[in-house]
Structure 1
């Protein structure tokens, strides 16, 4: 029984897909797509040299082009702020007068100690303030 070349290419594509699933390395997927391109080339009746060239060109192009685009996309994704980082930039309501020595604000449903960023500034109860940073357990506001 003689197996056609395109079948061998598809077996190779599946073989390259297995490490892709096990290791989550996208390069294996790109090589697998190159093997599928080799299978198509074989099915169209081209010789072994053309099949290998198509496999190499498609695989190299995918690794050279898609990989940097995917890396840029992954690195450019906004990070989700959590903990005290998520409180920066939020608004709070003054509960007790806030000045450079202290005070109290309601921030994200909780009562926080607070102080002003500028020493000459004061905020009275009921005013809305912006949280610039969190210093320990104290919200620095302006």
Structure 2
């Protein structure tokens, strides 16, 4: 009957893992399953705790690093926050020049300035309101843009 307590502990740890997503609690849950197996085979409580500890430590130090590496390799890199703004199209709300202006970017109003003109992509000295621009970088809270 003690194996049910170990199984319940493993389930609770698995639920906690869904909140942390760090693969720590699921490894300890594996240790609890080891303790449940030891209890199911009739081992005394001392052996059950030893099995729990050994399995947990092995999973934490041998399986967890490998599993995290596999997840990192298979999970696509998602651009977030400022990274997600770079390369997006925006609309000039006011005239935008190298000193400043305002653009509508992803439904939000942003301060903007025109990127320094380059030889391969000459930019007009002022982008008029209503023109479409592309964000090439973000400098603090200012979108640096280039005309489309």
| TM-score bin (small chain) | 0.5 to 0.7
Taking a change above 3 Å as real, the CA distance of residues 113 and 19 of structure 1, as seen in their structure-2 partners, is closer
* Structure 1 residue aligned with 2:113: 115
Q: CA deviation at 1:140?
A: 0.8
- Measure the CA separation in 2 of the matches of 1:70 and 1:23: 18
CA RMSD of aligned residues (A): 4.2
| Mapping 1:18-57, distance limit 5 Å | 20=13, 26=25, 27-39=27-39, 42=41, 55=51
Aligned residues of 1:31 and 1:59 also touching (Cα < 8 A): yes
Report SS of the residue matched to 1:99: coil
Query: Which of 99, 102, 106 is residue 100 of structure 2 equivalent to?
Result: 102
- Measure the CA separation in 2 of the matches of 1:133 and 1:103: 15
Aligned residues of 1:115 and 1:138 also touching (Cα < 8 A): yes
Taking a change above 3 Å as real, the CA distance of residues 110 and 60 of structure 1, as seen in their structure-2 partners, is closer
* Structure 2 residue aligned with 1:81: 80
> Highest CA radius of gyration, 1 or 2?
1
Compute the TM-score of the two structures, normalised by the length of structure 2: 0.53
- Measure the CA separation in 2 of the matches of 1:32 and 1:91: 52
* Structure 1 residue aligned with 2:59: 62
Taking a change above 3 Å as real, the CA distance of residues 11 and 107 of structure 1, as seen in their structure-2 partners, is closer
CA displacement, residues 19-74 of structure 1 (integer Å, 9 cap, x when unaligned):
8479865243121111233245x27xxx88xx87xx47755553344322443337
Compute the TM-score of the two structures, normalised by the length of structure 1: 0.55
Give the structure with the larger strand fraction: 1
- 1:13 aligned onto 2:6: yes
* Structure 2 residue aligned with 1:4: none
**Count of residues in correspondence between the two structures:** 126
Return 5+ residue gaps in structure 2 as ranges.
18-23
